[in-house]
Amino acid sequence: MSSDPIPDDALSEKFLAATGPGGQNVNKVATACQLRCDVFRLGLSPDAYARLKVIAGSKLTAGGELIITARRFRSQEGNRADARARLEKMITEAHIVQARRRPTKPSRSAKAKRVESKVQRGAIKRGRGKVSFD
């Protein structure tokens, strides 16, 4: 897991006019934050980079730039903090290595129990047939 801070030279911010609530203010003030992060400057391992690509999805450009747009808050400071927190969360998740799944086989007794329960169930169903008066 990486606890290193994100280098400032890898980040660039731009503020845009946000949509949503805000009344007249939304038309006048650029409060939405578009955070761009150059992923190659983060120094990620190839495995972590591959996981980040999957996590980021369409937010990652072909040039290796991760674009996060935050417009949840009505202030620049709130949106800037939100964008940076989301970026940090993505990078942290990319460093988590999933445990490999080891395929297992059912034991012989488990197979026998399964077959026996199927036989019993079949017997119950056979008992539901039409009754003949011979």
User: At CB < 8 A and 24+ separation, what contacts does 79-82 make?
Assistant: 79/15, 79/18, 79/31, 79/32, 79/33, 80/13, 80/33, 80/35, 82/33
For the chain, domain boundaries? 8-94
Distance CA 75, CA 101 (A): 45
User: Quick check: 37 and 65 in contact, CB under 8 A?
Assistant: yes
Q: What would the pLDDT profile of 26-70 be if each residue is shown by its tens digit?
A: 667 777 888 888 888 887 888 888 888 888 888 888 887 888 888
pLDDT of residue 122: 94
d(CA 128, CA 41): 71
CATH topology of domain 8-94: Double Stranded RNA Binding Domain (3.30.160)
SS3 108: helix
pTM: 0.63
Report whether pLDDT(5) > 80: no
